[in-house]
Amino acid sequence: MTMQNEGTREIAEEIEARTKANPDFARKLGDFGFIELEDTWGDETTILNTARVSTSNRRLRSVEDLTEKDRTLLFHLLSQHHGTPFETVYFRFRFIAPIFVLRQWVKHRISTWNEFSMRYRKPISAFYVPDREARTVHRFEVVSAEQTERYAALMERIFEFYEAEYRISCQRIDEAVEKGLIPEGKTDPAARNPYRARAREILRSAIPVSAYSDVYWTVNFRSLMNFFDLRTKENAQYEIREYALTAFDLFAKKFPLLSDLYKKAGQIHS
């Protein structure tokens, strides 16, 4: 893989730190992929209390208070697709994935999405390389190891192109400052250098969809269930399915009762 720029090395170090600090809820995927369930709001009691608001004054205070009747109601709500009570529980994930995976993921648009910006930073200089399992369909390797090597070499050259051209642009900007052709640095102390920012905006167009990006994703449980339903199916694209299955594992660790009932309702494809 190409030599990593400073920002990419920092992200790689953070991935290692997060998987050690939060081992139950942070996972690495492949060479540079990563997903972490950072936070949640609400639980099974939130769902049940919401569902009962028009029929009962009874309010549950903790999951330990759930009776068999409560569990039966929760299963009924799941299996019969009563959606709105599940919109009261929220999850915040952070994931680092190839851009082509993000383009599929962002279609699940009933959520909040904050993504790494190549306008303000140089791109993550790491790219996805499919392993043998990813290249194989029904035991047939559709792309050979030799082809994968040529693909990886091409990705290397693209990132080398970016670094070289960005360096040239920065040199031109610095020379123009020295000659008094443009003002030095930033006119607003709180802003970024507009000349370098525009160079990054233009050069990012050359970055391939195999490059990794970094996203914070905040989503309610109803939308998360839709993501699980579509992206864990066997016919989902291999790469996003790997992320979806991992996300479900993290969810299941956090909410074992809810995940068991969800699987019992037949809404997960493992």
Residues with catalytic roles: 231
Tell me the two tokens of residue 173: 């900007």
Helices (H) and strands (E) in the chain, counts: 9, 7
> N- to C-terminal Cα distance for the chain?
31
Beta-sheet strand order (sheet of 112-115): 26-29, 33-41, 90-98, 212-220, 112-115
Spatial distance between the Cα atoms of 208 and 205, rounded to a whole number of angstroms: 8
Q: Which residues of 3-38 are buried (b: 16+ CB within 10 A; e: fewer)?
A: ebbeebeebbeebeebeeeeeebbbbbbebbbbbbb
Return the closest-CA partner of residue 247 out of 233, 228, 264, 261.
Answer: 228
CA angle 103, 108, 109 (to 5 degrees): 95
Spatial distance between the Cα atoms of 4 and 8, rounded to a whole number of angstroms: 6
Quick one: DSSP state of residue 38? E
Spatial distance between the Cα atoms of 195 and 174, rounded to a whole number of angstroms: 10
